[in-house]
Structure 1
Amino acid sequence: MTPVALHTVFEALAYMVGFRTFLWTRRRLAPSAFQHDDHVVWVGVGAIVGAALGAKLAFWIDDPIAAFASFPDLRHLLEGKSIVGALLGGLIGVELAKKIAKVPRSTGDAFVLPLTVGMCIGRVGCFLAGLGDHTYGVPTSLPWGVDFGDGVPRHPTQLYEIAFLLAQYAVIHWRHDVFAKPGDRFRAFMIGYLMFRLLVEFIKPVFYNWPGGLSGIQWLCVAGLAYYGRDIPRILRALFARGSGAWEPR
């Protein structure tokens, strides 16, 4: 099976397993997130549409030279996507859908585990895709450097991300009782992931330099963290506060 085919298989698997995990999470981990089934539909549509548009826009921002190299070839223009863009676009899409459908409650907590599972599976596909996926790291002399096909050991940043996501979920799961507001688990997930991506991008190739020497993805991370700026101190205080408990389904 070719690297592209492997990536496609794992991407499809990520969507399927992530969706099934969401159905379970909705009942077990965040049963109060949705009052009615039609709220699930509205939020789901907002998330899907917003994520699709955000993922594409983020790729254009991150590597505009490659994205528009064959303009106006629509097929080439629609290639490529970004998880950071998908998360931020999905966030915007969900908030708009909730306003339209008048969904009164925070629904984010129901997405923490599905996103973690889906993103981990997807990153396995990115790792197996090699150089063509553009998610690898810069060259390294560290013993765990991986040759993605060009004879150069590189940081396996896809594996770093999987390790981070699993560790982050373990902390959020363990410290669930310290989050005061509905949706705080999702806020913690987003803040943690955006901080991780902001930092890990420094050991990944920069395909286009934006002001400040940052990549487009890093600037999107900065924008996302600015959106959560008021929540960051409270979330950090909660995570590092004394006292914790094992999670119990409610």
Structure 2
Amino acid sequence: MHFPFYIFGIHPHLLFESLSYFIGFRVYLYTRNQERIPMDKALWVIVGATLGAAFGSKLLYLLEDPKRTFDNLHHFVYLIEGKTIVGGLLGGLFGVELAKKCIGWTRSTGDDFVLPLTVGMMIGRIGCFLTGLSDHTYGVETMWLTGIDFGDGIKRHPTQLYEMVFLGVLAFSNYLVKKSKVGWEGLQFQLFMSGYLLFRLLIDFIKPTPHPYLGFNNIQLASLIGIGYYVWLIMKKHTAKRRGIHA
């Protein structure tokens, strides 16, 4: 297999990233709980999520290597290229909350995004894997059986495939939570975010990216902040529910 692996002459990253957005949006429209939020307000939430994700994804990418970013502040191409999923998720969260505040919506909307996000991210990671070395999403050199040679004679951790498997497990776990009808509105999204951020915190230790922040990289720092927030939020919701039951 040669990387990048073009499909009908189309670059895999472009093809699968486009498919991830298109299919993810269609999944959202098909599976969303129409009783939770009307479509006109849901569209504003989507706009907030899209703009927030674009900003957060770019900002966190620029923090990957602060010195390199500072040295390239005058290079327009460098400033517009690159993005990160974690930055997109956290930025999208901020954008959604801002949009909800603007339209006066107070109910949780996150659960509707769990399956679309999972499907979209898994499709996108196929493109990352087929792109190979130029995508910079692979892992460090390994002797594991799972090691993949992306074209330079060195076997590396296919972290893109690891992530796809993890997302599948996470989606199944959320399905069980949904089917059991336990918890509260928003719990599925909170579990999805905290689970994925924990995965990224750990998996990035086997990625050959700069770790300039006391042994952590930009993704890991953002993940730690996100994990802290969601642990606090889940504990807060759990305590509130217990008090309600006792009352």
- Provide the TM-score with structure 2 as the length reference: 0.88
Listed as ranges, the gaps of 5+ residues in structure 1 are 237-250
* Shift in Å, 1:230: 1.6
The answer to whether the aligner puts 1:95 opposite 2:97 as a matched pair is yes
* Shift in Å, 1:175: 2.3
| Rounded Cα–Cα distance in structure 2 between residues aligned with 1:98 and 1:213 | 37
**SS in structure 2 opposite 1:49?**
helix
- Output the amino acid matched with 1:209: P
| Rounded Cα–Cα distance in structure 1 between residues aligned with 2:67 and 2:18 | 28
Alignment partner, residue 135 of structure 2: 133
Listed as ranges, the gaps of 5+ residues in structure 2 are 239-247
The answer to whether the aligner puts 1:215 opposite 2:217 as a matched pair is yes
String of CA shifts for 1:175-207, please: whole Å, max 9, x gaps.
222542111100010010000000111111122
| Rounded Cα–Cα distance in structure 1 between residues aligned with 2:31 and 2:98 | 22
Alignment partner, residue 243 of structure 1: none
Percent sequence identity over aligned pairs = 49
**SS in structure 1 opposite 2:63?**
helix
In structure 2, do the counterparts of structure 1 residues 38 and 190 end up closer, same or farther at CA, with 3 Å as the change threshold?
A: same
| Rounded Cα–Cα distance in structure 1 between residues aligned with 2:87 and 2:232 | 21
Match of 2:187 among 171, 180, 184: 184
Match of 1:16 among 16, 19, 22: 22
Asked if the contact 1:59/1:67 (under 8 Å) is kept, the reply is no
| Rounded Cα–Cα distance in structure 1 between residues aligned with 2:133 and 2:68 | 15
The answer to whether the aligner puts 1:144 opposite 2:131 as a matched pair is no
Superposed, 1:41-80 pairs within 5 Å as: 41-80=43-82
| Rounded Cα–Cα distance in structure 1 between residues aligned with 2:171 and 2:15 | 24
- Output the amino acid matched with 2:196: Y
| Rounded Cα–Cα distance in structure 2 between residues aligned with 1:139 and 1:2 | 19
| Rounded Cα–Cα distance in structure 2 between residues aligned with 1:86 and 1:3 | 26
| Rounded Cα–Cα distance in structure 2 between residues aligned with 1:127 and 1:232 | 33
**SS in structure 2 opposite 1:206?**
coil
* Shift in Å, 1:233: 4.8
* Shift in Å, 1:130: 0.7
| Rounded Cα–Cα distance in structure 2 between residues aligned with 1:222 and 1:65 | 22
- Output the amino acid matched with 2:102: I
Between the two proteins, the alignment pairs up a number of residues equal to 232
* Shift in Å, 1:104: 2.1
| Rounded Cα–Cα distance in structure 2 between residues aligned with 1:227 and 1:189 | 13
CA RMSD of aligned residues (A): 2.0
Superposed, 1:112-127 pairs within 5 Å as: 112-127=114-129
| Rounded Cα–Cα distance in structure 2 between residues aligned with 1:137 and 1:69 | 26
The answer to whether the aligner puts 1:199 opposite 2:210 as a matched pair is no
String of CA shifts for 1:30-58, please: whole Å, max 9, x gaps.
33331x22211210110000000000001
Alignment partner, residue 243 of structure 2: none
| Rounded Cα–Cα distance in structure 2 between residues aligned with 1:32 and 1:191 | 26
| Rounded Cα–Cα distance in structure 2 between residues aligned with 1:128 and 1:47 | 27
| Rounded Cα–Cα distance in structure 2 between residues aligned with 1:195 and 1:43 | 26
